Structure 1
Amino acid sequence: MSPDVCDLTLIDLPGIARVPLRGQPEDIGEQIKRLIIKFIEKQETINLVVVPCNIDIATTEALKMAQEVDPEGKRTVAILTKPDLIDTGTEKSVLAIVHNEVIPLCKGYTMVKCRGQQQIDDDISLEQATQIERDFFQNHDYFRCLLNEDKATIKCLAIKLTQELVDHIKKSLPQLDEQIKKLLWDVRNELKECEGGPPQDPRGAKQFLTQTLKRFNDQINSLSSGELIFEENLFAQLRAEFKKWNDHLNSSKPSFSDSKVVSQENRGRELPGFSNYKVFETVLQKHVAELKEPANDLLRGMKGQKEKAEQRILEQFEMENLIYTQDPIFLKILSEITKEWFLEEQLPMFDKECTYSQMMKAHYEIVVQRMADQLPMMITLFMLKETAELLSTDILSLLDGANVSELLFEDSDVSKRRKDLRDRLDRLTAAQAELTEFI
């Protein structure tokens, strides 16, 4: 670092090793190449290929790798070093390289003469080294022309790199802006998962806890009433289960087709010709009882106040054993089945105009309609609505004599992640603001 140098971001990549030293893996050369490629293939970087003047540039592996990732040479700048070590008579060949006549590069070549090890040991300052370098080129028979062409000295290189970097950044700004926007979107989404950490002061912490519990309580109530819709809609799932129950009721309706067989199988001690209501009642009770197992299957898929809902469903089946319905309802369904019209004024009436099977079918239809609604309503009431109310009461009770700091304690990793995300958000926001001025 120095006040006398330009601001540049440099990544110093390792030299390409060919022979592994003791303790190094056999594929050390390939590992280094992969590392170098990882950096130089990025379109937002400028690749500086450093080549000593005293070797054959055409065989330089670094330049070859740069050409592979940048065939047109738009991101490659070549730097020729050690001009004081070239063999006498090769100066013109080196000049041809610098003049872009051997391996052309869009950004060309620059020659520099850095401090030698002896100068470093002698604590030669950068300012002194800069003057020594300039004197070298000024007094060189072949290379002095490079000064006028701005193709020699570290100072010239620094100015060139700064301008190249600025130009390259300008070209990359739209792409950088899109990348920053995407990163900002991702960071904001991540922050939502851990945003709103608890305040440190007791009063603020208590208020934070109250607001948090209230929001949670509101969500529970909204969810139980079907107002809050998540990705996996609770009521959509319940409705599907309730539909299965309704479909089962409709598909399992007995036909009661043979009233004579029904009467004979369930005949008591009465003489022929006499009707027995007990027959009607017994047959219907038997078929209603067959619905208990599927009803319990519907309940087993739920949790919470299962026992309470189970008890109410059992009571519903016990009530269905009473074989009761209002006369107008029964007569309406019976009329629909028999295609004959029955009126309350005709009561009491004999069943010779209508078979037992049709009367059983009429009442069973009423049972199906009642059960199709009653079970879902009981499950919704006892396992959703009342559960939500009990949970809400328990949540609000946490505020009574609660240890706020204990309730609001969070894992240190969470707070650290929140801080890191907020810092990233600040940096990205600042970067976006800076970019906006240039785009």
Structure 2
Amino acid sequence: MSYLESDRLIKISYLVQIIDCYKMFKFVILKYCSSPYLWKTKPQLSGRPKMHFQWNITLNHPHQMPNFLLSRKLMDNQKATIPYLAERLTKELVEHIAKSLPKLEEQIDKKLEQTKRKLKNLGDGVPQDQGQMTNFLIEKITKFNSLLFEVARAEEVVEEGNTRVFTKIRSEFSKWKTQLDKKANKLDEHLRDEVEEFAQTRRGKELPGFVNYKTFEGIVKQHIQDMEEPAVLLLKNVAEIIRCNVNKIATSHFEAFPNLLRVTKVHMEDLREQENKNAEEKLHWQFSMEKTVYSQDCLYSYQLNAVKQRGTSFVLAMNADLKEMAHHVSAYFKLASDRLANQVPLIIQYHLLDQYVGRLHIATMGILGEGHVITRLLQEDSNKSRDREALMGSVERLRKARQLLAKSVLI
């Protein structure tokens, strides 16, 4: 809120009270001075109007008699006099002001809090001393890095209605787990056709109930590789969430210093692209390693027994060799999907949050050693300087208004 708005608030409150006073005065006049006296303007020789009242009652209008008698009675009881009206109006005005003060006080407190918050966001002005300017720049960058570390630790303070960054990322990770589960649930449907096609075209000398390992390995690899593209899409979604929030923090923190903001964003974008590339490479490596079919014996045996006990609807209609193949494929894919459900989010979180924030901290602290002129980095936007002065004036005026209201309430 600007200083003009704060002044306008106080003036409007006074104006509203004056209007209310006028309405009450008019009401009292009409209520207690209803009489056949009418004010008229009669011209004089000098051309200047002169106010006088004229008796305007006749016996031909009997309906005017009650008003006349009432006015006469009020005059006799001294209730239609200026002193009485002044006393009555003062009493009404005092009661009205007493009722309006708490609400006006609440409005001023709210505006004062909003103005202080805006002033805090703008921060203090840049010091003039060279040594103090260096310390000011270091503190500014350190505060920015601390905000980023809070985001990485999922400890940042958010306003009501907003969501923490890692909460959004966790939601994306949950969607990834859901995709893997859906793939596992639909695996039985795909396996029926694949296993039947194997039995008809590539079955060797195996007796019923024996599994051809090469065929099993090929089916497993294909289903795991189908999840590589969704994993890369997950990486892009998380990267966009982090990019938007880090840009928002930087813009808000360095808003008053456009040159410093520009230099910081250069480091932000360079490091973001590097870590995105590193994370994507790690994901491809992970899926390349998944082509090597492997599991601990105890884990695989446990999962295989669980699949056999659970059973599937189509396995019951198969012969022994097809049943056995379906059991092994389902058991191994369950183990692999559980591994990917954890490993993919770990890779993304490590590069896009931990590594990115850590490297950005080092890069921003190194701005001082890059040959930049400190005075240029801390060159403040002229509009922000004027806004700070205006907000400081508004805070001072609102405080004075608050003190006056407090004294009025005490009185």
The TM-score, its normalising length taken from structure 2, stands at: 0.64
1:184 is displaced (CA, Å) by: 1.5
Structure 1 letter corresponding to 2:16: Q
1:377 aligned to which of 346, 352, 356:
346
Q: For 1:93, what is the secondary structure of its paired residue?
A: strand
1: CA distance, partners of 2:144 / 2:363: 12
Matches within 5 A, 1:217-296: 217-230=145-158, 231-253=162-184, 254-255=187-188, 256=191, 261=196, 263-264=198-199, 267=202, 270-273=204-207, 276-296=212-232
2:286 aligned to which of 316, 329, 336:
316
The 3 A distance-change label for structure 1 pair 388 and 83 is farther
1: CA distance, partners of 2:150 / 2:116: 26
1:411 is displaced (CA, Å) by: 1.1
2: CA distance, partners of 1:174 / 1:381: 54
Contact (CA 8 Å) 1:198, 1:205: kept in 2 or not? yes
The 3 A distance-change label for structure 1 pair 182 and 289 is closer
Contact (CA 8 Å) 1:40, 1:47: kept in 2 or not? no
2: CA distance, partners of 1:216 / 1:404: 17
Contact (CA 8 Å) 2:307, 2:331: kept in 1 or not? yes
CA deviations over 1:6-57 (Å, ceiling 9, x no partner): xxxxxxxxxxxxxxxxxxxxxxxxxxxxxxxx98994322699xxxxxxxxx
2: CA distance, partners of 1:86 / 1:364: 110
Matches within 5 A, 1:166-245: 171=98, 173-230=101-158, 231-245=162-176
Q: Which residue of 1 aligns with 2:404?
A: 434
CA deviations over 1:293-317 (Å, ceiling 9, x no partner): 2222212224332211111111111
2: CA distance, partners of 1:398 / 1:82: 85
1:168 is displaced (CA, Å) by: 8.9
Q: Between the two structures, name the one with larger relative contact order (CA 8 Å, sep ≥ 6).
A: 2
1: CA distance, partners of 2:372 / 2:342: 42
The 3 A distance-change label for structure 1 pair 178 and 233 is closer
Structure 2 letter corresponding to 1:246: K
Contact (CA 8 Å) 1:259, 1:356: kept in 2 or not? no
2: CA distance, partners of 1:290 / 1:212: 47
CA deviations over 1:63-122 (Å, ceiling 9, x no partner): xxx669954469xxxxx99999899xx9873899xxxx79x9x9977xxxxxxxxxxxxx
Structure 2 letter corresponding to 1:393: I
1: CA distance, partners of 2:306 / 2:20: 89
Q: Does 1:331 align with 2:278?
A: no
1:301 aligned to which of 228, 237, 259:
237
Contact (CA 8 Å) 1:224, 1:384: kept in 2 or not? yes
The 3 A distance-change label for structure 1 pair 259 and 428 is closer
1:279 is displaced (CA, Å) by: 1.2
Contact (CA 8 Å) 2:211, 2:324: kept in 1 or not? no
Structure 2 letter corresponding to 1:407: L
2: CA distance, partners of 1:266 / 1:107: 116
Higher Rg:
1
The 3 A distance-change label for structure 1 pair 47 and 240 is closer
Contact (CA 8 Å) 2:149, 2:357: kept in 1 or not? yes
Q: For 1:398, what is the secondary structure of its paired residue?
A: helix
1:288 is displaced (CA, Å) by: 1.2
CA deviations over 1:199-239 (Å, ceiling 9, x no partner): 22222222221111111101111101212243232112111
Unpaired stretches in structure 2, ≥5 consecutive residues? 1-10, 31-39, 57-70, 240-271, 311-319
The TM-score, its normalising length taken from structure 1, stands at: 0.60
1:189 is displaced (CA, Å) by: 2.6
1: CA distance, partners of 2:339 / 2:277: 21
Aligned residues: 314
Q: Which residue of 2 aligns with 1:129?
A: none
2: CA distance, partners of 1:91 / 1:229: 70
Cα RMSD (Å) of the superposition? 4.5
Which is helix-richer, 1 or 2?
2
The 3 A distance-change label for structure 1 pair 292 and 70 is farther
2:336 aligned to which of 367, 382, 385:
367
